[in-house]
Amino acid sequence: MSASNASRRIPEVVFHTRKGHEWVAINSREFFQNKTVIVFSLPGAFTPTCSSAHVPRYNQLAPIFFRHGVDEIVCISVNDAFVMNEWKEIQKADRITFLPDGNGEFTEGMGMLEDRKELGFGKRSWRYSMLVRDGVVEKMFVEPKVPGDPFEVSDADTMLAYLAPNADKADDVTVFTRKGCPHCSRAKQLLTDAGMEFEELVLNRDYTDRTLRAVTGADSYPQIYINAQHIGGADELAAWLQHRKAA
């Protein structure tokens, strides 16, 4: 996309979405009106980079975007409503609105429609993101025109750096737990009380005791990691939180 697309209005199209058993038509002009919206668009639902990085990170950073004036975060792909709804559910991306551009009309209007017939994809979107205020594009981050599927500038962290460069990023927290463990329950409550989101990995569902020993060198529960730092168990977490609060 050329630089001239900044400060232009988004294309007026109809997104054919599916809510329950009903078709719901969403007009793009009405959807974007009087809102600040982050849009990111990608080659296809269920594709590797889109599923492992693009969607998850926008979903993780959504609360920070919302605190800085964003009303909606939208993922657009040249896929139909059924595919987009299933992908959203599998991704557990409840903070993102998925809009299907099955006919590629919005994507073409943005100048981002690419022929991917060599992959059997047909016409798909080039990867990009943009900040849209009241239907007008303020800023775009378009991936470079190089072979493959570049993912360098349309990511959530780049958008956050533009929108709110001094914003504190969310902590990355993982808790290794086992069912019926009171110390695990205490640790999760401590994190919840501190307003810290976390990913829980449950013994014999998500990992085995061998993995716990390999990763942490411990055999007790829970084991907590924050921003790549091994904190330890519930007592160590309580001390870490207290120290952070006092700092």
Residues 144-183 pLDDT 10s: 999 889 999 999 999 999 999 999 888 999 999 999 999 9
Residue 46 has pLDDT above 60, yes or no: yes
**Fold for the domain defined by 173-246:** Glutaredoxin (3.40.30)
pLDDT, position 2: 43
User: 55, exposed or middle or buried, with CB in 10 Å at 0-12, 13-18, 19+?
Assistant: buried
Residue 57 has pLDDT above 70, yes or no: yes
Mean pLDDT of 98-111: 97
What are the beta bridge partners of residue 225?
174, 230
| Residue 16 in tokens | 């054919």
Mean pLDDT of 21-37: 97
Long-range contacts from 192-201, C-beta under 8 angstroms, 24+ separation: 194/241, 196/171, 196/226, 197/60, 197/170, 197/171, 197/173, 198/173, 198/174, 199/173, 199/174, 199/175, 200/174, 200/175, 201/174, 201/175, 201/176, 201/177
173-246 and 3-163 share a CATH fold: yes
| Number of neighbours of residue 195 by Cβ within 10 angstroms | 9
Q: Which residue has the tokens 């991704």?
A: 91
Residue 1 has pLDDT above 60, yes or no: no
pLDDT, position 119: 87
The answer to whether the beta carbons of residues 43 and 76 sit under 8 Å apart is no
Active site residues: 50
Give 100's Cβ-side CA count (13 Å radius). 20
Extents of the domains making up the chain:
3-163, 173-246
* Cα angle for residues 172, 182, 169 (degrees, 5° grid): 15
Alpha-carbon separation of residue 47 from 50, 119, 121 (angstroms) = 6, 12, 11
pLDDT band at 185 (very low <50, low <70, confident <90, very high): very high
| Residue 217 in tokens | 């060198």
Average pLDDT of the residues of the chain: 95
Task: Please tell us whether the domain made up of 3-163 is placed in CATH 3.40.30.10.
Answer: yes
**Could you give the CA distance from residue 30 to residue 109 in angstroms, rounded to a whole number?**
17
pLDDT band at 6 (very low <50, low <70, confident <90, very high): confident
**Could you give the CA distance from residue 223 to residue 69 in angstroms, rounded to a whole number?**
36
